[in-house]
A and B are shown apart, each in its own frame.
Chain A
Amino acid sequence: MSVAFCGLELAHPVINASGTFDLPAADAAFGESLRTRFPFAAFVSKTITLEPRSGNPPPRLWEAQAGLINSIGLPNKGLQGYLDSDLPAISDLLARIETHHPAPPLITNVMGSTAAEIAQLFDACEQREEIAAVELNVSCPNVKTGLDIGADPRQLEAVVREVRPHLSKPLIVKLTPNTADVGACALAAQEGGADGVSLINTLRATALSNGRPWLGGLTGGLSGPAIRPVALAQVAAAARGVSIPVVGMGGVQSAKHARDLLDAGATLVAVGTESFRDPGAGYRIAQGLENCGT
């Protein structure tokens, strides 16, 4: 049931959502049992920014109704730290997965607050052969307007068009769901030159404890089964509007949920919060899809 996606050949249609699986940490915890039943057909890194980020102050988590609100704040070692240590470590681990030949491709997720920053990140990704494709996180506030780059279709199209020449590898734009018209944003990404779009990112959310914001970052993003119906609607809206492939995600816990997103027009499905509950969820879901004849 191999799948073609943006020029990549994947063993099955299940990948991870960015920022929901730390491969070196999972390998340290599970070792052989992770590598023999590897959950994902491609691996998406957490978001990499130009400069290192320590992330938001704790507390960072709030268990919501059938879901999770997180306010992690994209901690990462910065571009140079990623290129020097995380990238070789992840790439080495992917090459050691016994059941996948060739190794699952690595998709590096990046975020910048200006087109110039994004271009610099793309230039670096272009140079490294370990990176098969790039996912651009556009849930980043524009430094001038304060609005998320990805929330306004015209701004999104302009930014993607400006940075596109810096990357010859496949470019996936990770759309924000916190926008009025996600179909228009998907089309804008395509018009700007994206090879694929992925959605949905977390929905902006707040948790109160005794009347005060619980999260150190004050607001966070809601994920998990609570957002699955929203994901289904947004993935369908995006898929209707574009000709490029769509990665669907949001609350997927089972092969049935994955099947729904594929039926709504997605080419791949990503698993996020469910991997927190069950690190083997991606494997279980891919097996389930295969058994029901996808």
Chain B
Amino acid sequence: MRRRLTVAGNDQLGAYRVLRLSDPNGSPPQPGQFSMLATVARWGAGEDERPHLPRAFSVARWQDGEAHYLLKDVGPGTRRLCQLRAGEEVWTLGPLGRGFTAPAEGQRAILVGGGVGIAPLAILQDTLMSQSGAQGCVALLGFRDGAHAQGGSLLRDARLASDDGAVGHHGLVTELLEQELQRTPQACVYACGPAPMLEATRAICAARGVSAQLALESGMACGFGACFGCVVATKDGGYVRVCVEGPVIDAARLERVDAHAGAPA
């Protein structure tokens, strides 16, 4: 159930902030799991009397009794969380949802992230590297510009792409993915980012018969399966709740990645 945690720090990282919540008694999250966050003080009664509902964030890192979350100010909820200072308190519900599953024997993990969507790939990389060392995975991260690309330091040894060419490959991160898949066809792709990036990743992997796990984002009211608001359409014609059947969904279950199912660009 909901717990009241104290902010250990909230540090600038390029265009982002890394919010650290002290959680010495929390259960360690699986990579890809998320929490619903809301500040204890001044949540609501802002512009337009928002935010009202908590906001969903993938856990970016779990270390030394702290949970880390990557924040970007995209609206009233994220703005309020970005303002937090050490010592303030946050209502936290989590870890929630289904995370990533390990690559099959003989498969190399390729991590593909875009913008604030790189968050769950950091904790995934931590886990993969602790299991199989530095050779365990490749990280490919895309950002819009140099300020955002500083977020790439959340992961180790990542290859970067930027829309404006300020850092790394001048172009899309999915172009790096295509190159990497030519070198490493025995791969399992783990992706999180804006919907167009996820859809391109899904299509590239489907064309090559490579398995892909996509961490989706969807507006959520509750995060624990109660509201049925965060659904995405699946190939079988139905809908699944991102919060309880995801947020990590096997790309093979999707006809396409819905435009509403990605992280803020």
Contacts and interface: CB of A to CB of B under 8 A. Distances in A.
Q: Are the chains A and B members of one assembly? A: yes
Interface of A: 19-22, 25-26, 28-30, 33-34, 37, 54-55, 57-61, 63-68, 70, 72, 75, 224-226, 273, 275-280
Nearest to A33: B1
A267 B178 CA distance: 63
Contacts of A55: 228, 231, 239
Contact of B50 (A22, A33, A65, A72): A65
Contacts, number: 107
Nearest to B231: A58
Nearest to A70: B229
Interface stretch (B60-68, B105-113, B187-195, B219-227): B219-227
Given A22-B224, A75-B228, 11 more contacts: A21-B226, A26-B225, A26-B226, A28-B244, A55-B231, A58-B258, A67-B52, A70-B227, A275-B226, A276-B227, A277-B54
B233 interface: yes
Given A20-B227, A25-B244, A70-B221, A30 B53 contact: no
Given A20-B227, A29-B244, A60-B228, A276 B222 contact: yes
Nearest 3 pairs of A and B residues by beta carbon: A25-B225, A61-B229, A276-B222
Interface of B: 1-2, 38, 44, 48-54, 91, 93, 96, 218-222, 224-233, 237-239, 241, 244, 258, 260
B93 A279 contact: yes
B194 to A, nearest CB: 16
Contacts of B38: 277
Given A29-B96, A29-B244, A68 B226 contact: no
Nearest to B261: A58
Nearest to B45: A66
Contact of A63 (B50, B230, B237): B50
Contacts of B53: 63, 68, 276-277
A269 B91 CA distance: 25
Q: Counting chain A CB atoms within 10 Å of each CB, which of B1, B2, B225, B233 scores highest?
A: B1
Contacts of A224: 52
A276 B225 contact: no
A68 B220 CA distance: 11
26 contacts: A21-B226, A22-B226, A22-B228, A25-B224, A25-B225, A26-B224, A28-B244, A29-B225, A30-B224, A34-B1, A55-B239, A57-B233, A58-B239, A60-B230, A61-B220, A61-B227, A63-B51, A63-B52, A63-B219, A65-B52, A225-B52, A276-B227, A278-B2, A278-B91, A279-B222, A280-B1
A66 B44 contact: yes
Q: Counting chain A CB atoms within 10 Å of each CB, which of B53, B54, B96 scores highest?
A: B53
A227 B220 CA distance: 20
B1 A37 contact: yes
Nearest to A284: B2
Contacts of A25: 224-226, 241, 244
B49 A66 contact: yes
B160 to A, nearest CB: 32
A210 to B, nearest CB: 14
Q: Counting chain A CB atoms within 10 Å of each CB, which of B218, B232, B239, B258 scores highest?
A: B239
B146 to A, nearest CB: 29
Contacts of B241: 25
Contacts of B232: 58
B52 A68 contact: yes
A113 B226 CA distance: 25
Q: Counting chain B CB atoms within 10 Å of each CB, which of A19, A67, A276 scores highest?
A: A276
A241 B91 CA distance: 41
Nearest to A62: B219
Contacts of A28: 225, 244
B96 to A, nearest CB: 6
Q: Counting chain B CB atoms within 10 Å of each CB, which of A25, A29, A75 scores highest?
A: A29
Contact of B231 (A21, A22, A60, A66): A60
Contacts of A30: 1, 224
A85 to B, nearest CB: 15
Nearest to A74: B228
Contact of B224 (A19, A29, A75, A273): A29
A143 to B, nearest CB: 24
A113 B138 CA distance: 55
A280 B229 CA distance: 20
Given A33-B1, A276-B53, A279-B224, A65 B231 contact: no
A65 B238 CA distance: 31
Nearest to B222: A276
A216 to B, nearest CB: 9
A33 B3 CA distance: 12
Nearest to A224: B52
